[in-house]
Amino acid sequence: MIPLPPLAPPAVLVDEALACDVACFPTPEQYLDLVAAFKDDGFEMCVDVCGVDYLEHAERALPEGVAPTRFEVVVNLLSLSKKQRVRVRVQAGTESPRVESLFHIYPGTEAPERETFDMFGILFDGHPDLTRILMPEDWEGHPLRKDYGVGHVPIQFKEAPGPR
Amino acid sequence: MSDVTRTADRPERLTGETSEGAQELTRRIDTASDQLGREVGSVLRLDGVTLDPREVDYERDDDETMIINMGPAHPSTHGVLRLMLELDGEFVLRTKVVIGYLHTGMEKTGETLSYVQGATNVTRMDYLSPVINELSYSLTIEKLLGVQIPERATWIRMLMSELNRVSSHLVWMATNGMDLGSTSMMIYGLRERELILAFFEKTAGLRLNLNYVRPGGVAADLPDGWEDDIEVICNTIEERTYEYDQLLTGQPILRNRLIGVGAITAEEALALSLTGPLLRSTGVPWDLRRSMPYLAYDQVDFDVIVGTYGDNFDRYAIRLNEIRESIRIVRQCVEKMPAGDYRSQDPKVTPPPRARIGESMEALIHHFKLFTEGFHVPAGEVYSAVESPRGEIGCYMVSDGGPKPYRIHVRAPSFTNLQAMPLLMRGASVSDAITMISTVDPVLGEVDR
């Protein structure tokens, strides 16, 4: 169990069930302050930013008080000095998901946030260059959303289309 | 056939916009100053190392500079990396990395594959270190499942990942040599790697995309006489690393092209989330094998190689010496290899042996369930990371309790490391740009996934 950093905004929810994988659940308003507080507390590196679309798994386990939304942004922070990891999970919204960008705290989140935008359509406020990174610029849709079809190649000489 | 329009008759096809649009490097006039700042590598808003984009060649006229494309089909970009460079004569002013040419939607595919099948998917991401990809994937699932894997499986995994690290670094030595004009190094590096690939083939049946490390253990036990094979591999490669020293390390051309070129500081590396040899070259002794040990790395003796200046030569030296350290670990693995099972005997994870299927109804059911539906993994979210030859490769997995991962995200070290490109390139000449790409060592399969 990692205590929250001293400068963390009040009333951030922490999941205490998983001792090995501590996750904090800030509200979108607390998000930026919490990450900044972690940085001041010795978490030098933002290892990863990714998104999750919980469209088909909305009943996931969350601590009491967190209102689940369809999209979630997951940030993994690493402290080299303390040899600790901490995960920040922020509910990004359902209809038009958007959160603050971490770019000005951790410049290394530039590419991962672009990837999250590209794959999920989650907007990052304050990101300097929120363009597609993996998909072509004129691509329609965000492929890792759950309502985006996998697509399949029709199999020749078979009447029924394949499972995927 | 007269209505066929040839490309030459349609000059707009040659000069027109490509589909990448806003991802491309634009002319200076059309570029906002913070965008310009990132492209000259001043992404850092740190005390002491902040580069004001307005100070950096901002007043330069558009007709003094030239924007050129390097890649995606340039041989020195190690795949389909595309760099857009703004050049002033020979020197690079701005760089923009355009990626995605090898994007195959592996994370999406991973959601449609069961946990057993998924290993075949992740192994193709970083095609130079497949074992380590599979390892991070398997460790993540095992963390969710709470399965204990046998001692021998742990050590086999360690042995194989270290061999894989050697082979990956050997490819790097080879291609780096090639980029710097030492074509003999290309041949030598691939020659030595072949020894390891032959051993992989003997063990796992495949040379490249092994699918060897699986949730619950490894796919097969080590072949008979494996100690002798490893002995030969270790002795040969260790001896040859000293030949590389003679061929490259002291060679004045190589030294001049590497020393002092592409230097970064520790603050910059940390801010850009760089890991692996890039971070260690700046003097930060961060190696997950030592700092946050997984498998049995706390029981073997090895050194974490650290550089001082953060330049290309440090990265070269780190990789060369990591080959030696990995061989040290491999030797200890041979010495300490325990007897026992090579995979967990939990029937929920591991299929029963072929012989049992004929005589046991239960074994038949387990086998059928495992290969049709797959095993169910408790709901939850986990992240686990291991040290790949390029840095921290992590896997974030969300399970909804079903037989397929709900979401699988791979934190690819090459993808993040590429963010250092504009910073490294600034002010370098185009020929140095090639060494920069080389020492960052991106594997495009992993960058684009």
B89, B133: one domain: no
pTM more than 0.90: no
Cross-strand pairs, A123: A98
Judged by a CB distance cut-off of 8 A, whether residue A21 touches chain B is: yes
B319, B347: one domain: yes
Asked if residue B2 belongs to a domain, the reply is: no
Q: CB distance A56–B419 less than 8 Å?
A: no
Domain boundary among B44, B74, B98: B98
B182, B218: one domain: yes
B158, B245: one domain: yes
Domain boundary among B396, B411, B426: B411
Packing angle between helix B312-336 and helix B151-179, nearest 10 degrees? Answer: 150
Asked if residue B240 belongs to a domain, the reply is: yes
Q: Which of B411, B317, B315, B428 is closest to B83 using CA atoms?
A: B428
pLDDT for B62 equals 65
Q: What range does the domain containing B82 cover?
A: 22-98
**Residue B381's domain is classified under what CATH number?**
1.10.645.10
List of chain A residues whose C-beta atoms are within 8 Å of the C-beta of residue B38: 110, 128-129
Asked if residue B434 belongs to a domain, the reply is: no
Residues of chain A with pLDDT under 70: 1-3, 6-21, 152-164
Q: CB distance A150–B108 less than 8 Å?
A: yes
pLDDT for B325 equals 92
B76, B210: one domain: no
Number of domains making up chain B: 2
Judged by a CB distance cut-off of 8 A, whether residue A107 touches chain B is: yes
Asked if residue B435 belongs to a domain, the reply is: no
Q: Could you give the domains of chain A?
A: 13-101 (3.30.460.80)
Q: Which residues, at least 6 apart from A134, have a Cβ–Cβ distance to it below 8 Å?
A: A115, A118, A119, B99, B100, B103, B448, B449
Q: CB distance B415–A131 less than 8 Å?
A: no
Residue by residue, what is the 3-state secondary structure of B135-191? HHHHHHHHHHHCCCCCHHHHHHHHHHHHHHHHHHHHHHHHHHHHHCCCHHHHHHHHH
B113, B39: one domain: no
B74, B138: one domain: no
pLDDT, averaged per 10 consecutive residues of chain B (449 residues), comes to: 49 48 69 66 47 52 76 78 84 84 88 88 89 92 87 92 92 89 88 91 89 88 90 92 88 86 85 89 90 89 89 91 92 90 82 82 85 85 90 90 89 90 83 87 87
Interface probe for A, chosen from B381, B418, B419, B447 (most Cβ of A below 10 Å), is: B381
Q: Each residue of A44-72: pLDDT tens digit? A: 889 999 999 988 887 877 777 788 888 99
Q: How does DSSP assign B358-391, residue by residue? A: HH-HHHHHHHHHHHHT-----SEEEEEEEEETTE
B240, B94: one domain: no
B52, B136: one domain: no
Asked if residue B297 belongs to a domain, the reply is: yes
Asked if residue B6 belongs to a domain, the reply is: no
Name residue, tokens 């030459």.
B8
Q: CA of B61 to nearest chain A CA: how many angstroms apart?
A: 23
Q: How far is CA B152 from CA A143, B139, B148, in A?
A: 40, 15, 12
> How many contacts (CB atoms, under 8 Å) link A and B?
127
B113, B190: one domain: yes
pLDDT for A94 equals 87
List of chain A residues whose C-beta atoms are within 8 Å of the C-beta of residue B22: 131-132, 137
Asked if residue B272 belongs to a domain, the reply is: yes
B81, B196: one domain: no
Q: Each residue of B2-33: pLDDT tens digit? A: 455 444 454 444 444 445 666 677 777 667 66
Asked if residue B122 belongs to a domain, the reply is: yes
List of chain B residues whose C-beta atoms are within 8 Å of the C-beta of residue A42: none
B134, B69: one domain: no
pLDDT for B200 equals 92
